[in-house]
Structure formats: structure tokens, C-alpha cells
Amino acid sequence: MKKIVLALSVLVFVTVISAAQPIGIGIGNKAPELTGKSPSGETFKLSDTKKLVLLDFWAAWCAPCRRENPNVVAAYNKFKDKKFTNGKGFAVFGVSLDRTEADWKKAIEKDKLSWPYHISDLQYWNSKHAAIYGVRSIPTNFLLDENGVIIGRNLKGPALEAELQKYLK
């Protein structure tokens, strides 16, 4: 009887430990939660996406970000309705490091960033969202599976599309 209780205890312990996904910003970590306001005042949480998601840190004033935006738009348009091995559909969750709402809104419109998930605290480099992810330069991005686990980082240009292609069903 003691052996059975011990075996069950070990099994429960191993199950609990393996189920606990460490939170962090490395590949294989559960991505930290982000919550913020959209340009229209709506509140979005990163965990609401429930899809394969590109967490994209950028800003209207950032020339390299603006040059990368067409690649992100193309990937979004190509993959948003696809089925993946680790998610159903593809979303972009944009986090702006802008200072003004007007510049942020204008860039979203001009660059045709048509996905619904945009947040910013309008704190520039003092953004709490950027601090959580250790963002020190932009553009910076993280690819998350439907469970919020980081499966890629800093995927730009053709590398983003190639990575998404790998996960197609």
C-alpha cells in the first residue's frame, strides 16, 4: 500500500511540475501577459488572441519599423485564416512605443495595419510593455503559439513567412 501511495505521489508531483510552463521571454517560455488600450480606448489582453500570434513592438517614429510593416501586413493577410499545427489562424498583436496617439493612429492607417490588436501606453522608451519583454530596440517581435508559448523571436522579412510556413497543417 505504501508503494502505491508513493508511486501516485510521484506521478502527481511530476504531472504538476511538467504542467507548469515557466513564464519568460525565451523560446519555450510562456509569454508574459500584456494588457493595454487600443487607439479607440478598447482594452486588449495578449491572452485573448488564442491563435498563432506575432507580438510586434514598433513605433510610428521608427524608420526600420515602418520599413518592416509591409512584411508583417503581407504575412498577416496570407496567414490570418490558415490552420496551424499549434493554432487556428494567425494574428498580430502590435505594441507601439509612440509618444502621441495622433502619430500612432496615423501610422496604423498609413501602413494598413488592419489587425484589431493594437496597444500602447504612449510612454515611448518608458513603456511598461517593452520593459516586461526587455525590448531595447525596435522592431522586435515574438511568435507565440495558441497557448502563449514563445516559439520564435525577431522574425523579419522572409524569415517570418518561412517560420509561419513551418507550422501550417
User: Would you list the domain boundaries of the chain?
Assistant: 23-166
169 residues of the chain, pLDDT tens digit each: 555 444 444 444 433 444 567 999 999 999 999 999 999 999 999 999 989 999 999 999 999 999 999 999 999 999 999 999 988 899 999 999 999 999 999 999 999 999 999 999 999 999 999 999 999 999 999 999 999 999 999 999 999 999 999 999 9
Classify domain 23-166 at the CATH class level.
alpha beta
Contact assessment for residue 89 and residue 52, using Cβ atoms and an 8 Å cutoff: yes
CA-wise closest residue to 95 among 50, 141, 27: 141
CA-wise closest residue to 161 among 84, 95, 89, 74: 74
> What pLDDT digit, counting tens, does each position of 24-45 carry?
999 999 999 999 999 999 999 9
Q: Return the ∠ at Cα 116 (arms to 113 and 119), rounded to 5°.
A: 85
pLDDT value for 36: 98
Strand partners, 164: none
CA-wise closest residue to 140 among 157, 126, 153, 123: 153
Distance CA 111, CA 25 (A): 27
pLDDT value for 17: 41
pLDDT value for 87: 81
Q: HSE on the CB side for 166, CA within 13 Å?
A: 10
Query: Structure pTM?
Result: 0.87
CA-wise closest residue to 31 among 49, 16, 15, 4: 49
pLDDT value for 19: 52
Distance CA 55, CA 117 (A): 10
pLDDT value for 7: 42
pLDDT value for 86: 83
pLDDT value for 58: 98
pLDDT value for 1: 53
**82 conformational bin, left if phi > 0, alpha if psi -120 to 50, beta if neither:** beta
Sequence-ordered list of residues with C-beta below 8 angstroms from that of 146, at least 6 positions apart, any chain: 50, 51, 52, 84, 86, 87, 88
Concatenating the DSSP letter of every residue in 8-28 gives: HHHHHHHHHHHH-PPBSSSTT
